[in-house]
Every structure is written in C-alpha cells, then in structure tokens.
Amino acid sequence: MDASVIVCTYNRADSLKDTINALKQQNVGAEISWEIIVVDNNSKDHTKQLVQEEQKSLPRLRYLFEKEQGLSYARNLGLSSANGNILLFTDDDVLPEPNWLASILEGMEKYNADACGGYIAPIWETPPPNWLTDRFYGFLAVRIDRTDDYQLTHPDQAPFGANMAFKKEIFQHVGNFDTTRGRSANILAGGEDIEMFERVLSAHRPVFFLGSARVHHKVESFRLKKTYFRKWRLESSRNIAQTVGVPGETRLFNIPLYIFPQLVRATLRLLFAKLLLPKDEAFQREIIVFHFMGTIIGLYSCRASATK
C-alpha cells in the first residue's frame, strides 16, 4: 500500500467527523492505494460508534483502540499497524486540504525525503486577542511563515504533529515515538513530534517542508487565553525536565543552582516588560518564567531517583 493516514483522537468525536469528511475529499489518483487509521486513545464519547458508521461508506477507514493514555502510545499503535509505505499524521481537530495527501506523496518522491511537514493555517473560533501575535503560533501548532519547499536542517525547524509524514522504514532506524513525551489526556505536555524529528535529523536523513501540503487547524477559544499558554509551557517544561533532565553538578533538591538566579532575572525582566513594553513581549517574558517554574517542578519531582 502506498500510504496510511493516521489520526489519533481522544474525546473529540464531533470534530473527528469533520477530519474524516476532509479526508474523504482527497484528490488522489486511482493508482494510489491508501487507508485511514483512526486510533482511539481511550475515548469516553461516541468515537467508536462514529467511526463504525463512517466505515459503511468508507471501506479504507480502519478503527484501532489504544488503552494506554498518551498521544505517543496512540501514534505508535498507528504506525505499527499501518500498511502504507508512507505514514501521514494529522489530528482530530485538523482539516486537510483536498490535495494534501497527493502533495505529500509527490513531494517526498521529488526530494527523496524520509520525513516532511507542511503548512498549518488556523481556523480561529473567535478572533485572537491583540497580545497573541505570530510569535506564539507554535504553541497552537500553527505554521504559516513560509509556503515554499525547503530542506530542514535543525530541530528548531521541526514540523508539528498536525501535519507530518514519514517513510515507514525510518522507524526501524530511529525507533518509535517516545511514550514519556507528548500529550496525555488533559496534560498538555508536548514535544514528542519535535523529538522524533530530532532523531531523524541526527540520523542524517533528509527532511523537507512542503509548502503545498496544507491543512487547517481549529483553534478553540479556550486556547486563546493566557491560562492555556501558561499551562502548556509549565507542563511541557516539567515533562522535559523529568524525561531529559538538565545539566549541572551542584544541586539543591536536584535543581542546579544556576537555575535559581536565572528565574530571578527572568522575573525582573517580566516586571520591566509589564510596565514598559508591548503586550506580546511582556507575555513572552512571562512564558519564560513559567518555563523555569516547570523545569524546577519537574526536577524536584525526580529528586529521589536522582540521589540513588
């Protein structure tokens, strides 16, 4: 089989229906064989019933259930069960454009790419507030800065999980998604997609951004609040501290001493920005403070194992 589209979902049946409808509209030639795999990550809503109903008119649609909570567990089940040579990943709140699948298959063949990502446009449920400038779009898995094709060479350029694809064989070389990373139920920790691209790039495998591979990502109103950004940054930094760690020999409660003055400086910079700088710069500095707080919480929670 040429391709498998993997959609991991958790308690979003109504939104998932929109994603499936968008995938039904893919303009793919009859010579291309492909499937859609929905991985239900222990949903409590009517996700299974929805997929079963859609299967009546969509034979290429498959349903899998992953009881282990966590996006990485769901993605790993999808990739291990897929029949396609190219594995495309998107989310249950994303609407791929009709040429999305074809653009990825053509682009990966053209550039002999082992992995790729693409353009992610927002669908704002409500207009974003004035402090939410494009510097924060990465928190929302939005990528609209470029529309051309180009090769990625650094992890900072890594695509987002809402629009990414890999040759299936690449996972034999770099391994599956890290199950200690990524979103789990209502815990917002992310980064499993970026960490995967880090491994692919470290293996010196070609990775490209394909500007014509476009999807549209729903951005609900609750994600446009500062509380969401604070929670995302805190939980993501805590997860990174717990799974990757932080260098430093001299520690207090497993926290390198240099982190404490960094937190103090970041807090002072935040206070200055609150008084004198634009709202987006002030909030950016606030996010940095929450990064340090999450890092400290994560390291502190690991202090028992660190002393063994």
**pLDDT tens column, 83-101:** 999 999 999 999 999 999 9
Q: Answer whether 120's CB lies under 8 Å from 193's CB.
A: no
Q: Answer whether 136's CB lies under 8 Å from 282's CB.
A: no
Q: Is 35 helix (H, G, I), strand (E, B) or coil?
A: strand
Within the chain, which residues score under 70 in pLDDT? Answer: 182, 184-190, 304-308
Provide the token pair at 294: 């999450």
Predicted local confidence at residue 217, as pLDDT: 98
Predicted local confidence at residue 239, as pLDDT: 87
Q: How many CB atoms lie within 10 A of CB 160?
A: 24
Judged by phi (left if over 0) then psi (alpha if -120 to 50, else beta), residue 182 lies in left
Predicted local confidence at residue 277, as pLDDT: 96
Cβ-count burial 246-265 (b if 16+ within 10 Å, e if not): beeeebeebbbeebeeebee
Q: Answer whether 172's CB lies under 8 Å from 80's CB.
A: no
174-224 per-position pLDDT tens digit: 999 999 876 766 666 667 899 999 999 999 999 999 999 999 999 999 999
Q: Answer whether 239's CB lies under 8 Å from 148's CB.
A: no
145-166 per-position pLDDT tens digit: 999 999 999 988 999 999 999 9
Predicted local confidence at residue 308, as pLDDT: 47
The structure tokens 């669908």 sit at 123
Predicted local confidence at residue 186, as pLDDT: 64
Pick from 25, 30, 35: nearest CA to 4:
35
Predicted local confidence at residue 191, as pLDDT: 78
Q: Which helix (H) or strand (E) holds 284?
A: helix 279-301
CA 57 to CA 63: how far, in whole Å?
A: 14
Q: Is the whole model's pTM more than 0.85, yes or no?
A: yes
